[in-house]
């Protein structure tokens, strides 16, 4: 699907990126409309930790490291 990105299929068929800090795979349970937004509620069916590294954060319009 994505050139140059290693991924494998999860239990529900979602692409799980190799080398990620971790992942959650969810089954859609509900959709809640709220004004101009829609909130999706999921049931976690699989989860795992990946590699050990500082997460990337977005704060004030800029990406930053949590370390």
List pLDDT tens digits, range 10-61: 999 988 988 888 899 999 999 999 999 999 999 999 998 877 888 778 888 8
CA 11 → CA 20, 38, 58, 62, distances in Å?
A: 17, 25, 29, 33
45 vs 23: CA distance, rounded Å: 11
| pLDDT at residue 1, as a whole number | 56
| pLDDT at residue 29, as a whole number | 97
């Amino acid at each position: 699907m994505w050139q140059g990105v290693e991924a494998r299929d999860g239990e529900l068929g979602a692409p799980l990126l190799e080398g990620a800090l971790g992942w959650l795979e969810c089954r859609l349970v509900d959709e809640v409309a709220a004004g101009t937004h829609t909130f999706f509620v999921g049931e976690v069916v699989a989860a795992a930790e990946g590699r050990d590294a500082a997460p990337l954060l977005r704060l004030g319009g800029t990406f930053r490291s949590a370390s």
